Amino acid sequence: MNKKRMIVSLVVILTVVVTGSLTYQQFLAPDAAAAAAATVAGETVAASAPVQTGNSAVSAEGVIMPLRHANLSFLMGGPVAEILAEEGTAVAAGEPIIRLEAADLELGVQQAQAGVTTAEAGLTAAQSQLELAQVRVTTAEIGVSAAQAQLALVKAGPRPEEIAAAEKSLDAAAAGISQAAGSRDAQLNISDAQIKGAEANVAAEIANTRAIQDGYDAIIEACFKLPDGSEVCPLYGPTEENTRARLEIAQLQLSAAQEGLDALLAGPTAAQQRAAGGAVAVAVANRDLAQAQLDLLLAGATPEQIRQAEVGVEQAQLGVEQARTAVTQAEAAVTQAEAAVTQAQAGLAAAQNALDRMTLTAPFDGTVMGVLVDEGELTSSGIPVVALADISGWVVETTDLTELDVVALAVGDAAEVRVDAIDDEVVSGTVMEIAAVSTLTRGDVTYAVTVQLDPSDLPLRWGMTAFVDVGK
36 within domain boundaries: no
Q: What is the mean pLDDT of residues 457-467?
A: 94
pLDDT, tens digit (0-9, with 9 covering 90-100), for 271-324: 666 666 677 788 888 888 888 877 776 777 778 888 898 899 999 999 999 999
Residue 411 domain-assigned (yes or no): yes
Residues 166 and 306: beta-carbon distance below 8 Å = no
pLDDT at 3: 43
CATH number for the domain including 434?
2.40.50.100
CB 425 within 8 A of CB 417: no
Residue 197 lies in a domain: no
Question: For the residues 34-38, what does the mean pLDDT come to?
Answer: 34
pLDDT tens by residue, 218-266? 888 877 777 787 777 777 777 788 888 888 998 899 899 888 888 777 7
Q: Which of 73-87, 94-108, 193-207 has the lowest mean pLDDT?
A: 193-207
Read off φ and ψ for residue 120, nearest 5 degrees. Answer: -65, -40
Q: Where are the alpha helices (DSSP H) in 2-102?
A: 3-23, 29-41
**Amino acid residing at 390:** D
In a domain, 227, yes or no: no
Measured CA angle at 400 (ends 397, 405), to 5 deg: 100
Q: Are 257 and 195 in contact (CB under 8 A)?
A: no
- How far apart CA 271 and CA 5 sit, in angstroms, is 122
Lowest mean pLDDT among 6-10, 156-160, 336-340, 393-397: 6-10
Q: Is 289 in contact with 233 (CB distance < 8 Å)? A: no
* C-beta separation of 432 from 450 below 8 A: yes
- Helix, strand, coil fractions of the chain, as percent rounded to 5: 55, 20, 25
Does residue 56 carry a pLDDT above 80? no
Q: For residue 162, count other CB atoms closer than 10 A to its CB.
A: 14
* pTM of this structure: 0.49
455: DSSP letter: P
Number of H helices, E strands in the chain: 9, 17
pLDDT of residue 437: 95
**Percent of the chain residues topping a pLDDT of 90:** 52
From the number of C-beta atoms within 10 Å of its C-beta (0-12, 13-18, 19+), residue 395 rates as buried
- Specify the amino acid at residue 27: F
**104 closest CA partner among 354, 272, 308, 337:** 354
The confidence band for 180, taking pLDDT boundaries of 50, 70 and 90, is confident
C-alpha closest to that of 154 among 291, 310, 292: 310
Rounded Cα distance between 264 and 380, Å, is: 120
The DSSP secondary-structure symbol of 59 reads E
118 three-state secondary structure: helix
CA–CA gap between residue 38 and residue 202 (Å, rounded): 172
Contact at 8 Å (CB) between 212 and 250? yes
Predicted pLDDT of residue 163: 81
Provide the pLDDT for residue 272: 65
Structural domain contains residue 189: no
Is residue 289 within 8 Å of 166, Cβ to Cβ?
Answer: no
Boundaries of domain holding 404: 50-99+361-471
Q: Please state the φ and ψ torsions of residue 257, each to the nearest 5 degrees.
A: -65, -40
253 is a domain residue: no
Query: pLDDT exceeding 70 applies to what percent of the chain?
Result: 84
Number of domains in the chain: 1
Rounded to the nearest 5 degrees, what angle is found at the Cα of 420, between the Cα atoms of 414 and 422? 90
Residues 327 and 223: their CA atoms lie apart, in Å, by: 101
DSSP lists the bridge partners of residue 40 as: none
**CA gap 168, 149 in Å, rounded:** 26
Identify the DSSP state of 402: B
**What is the rounded end-to-end Cα distance, in angstroms, of the chain?**
50
Q: What secondary structure letter does DSSP report for 458? A: S
Strand partners, 439: 446
* Residue 461 counted as domain residue: yes
pLDDT tens digits for range 333-358: 999 999 999 999 999 999 999 999 99
Whether residue 79 lies inside any domain: the answer is: yes
Q: Which residues pair with 90 in a beta bridge?
A: 367
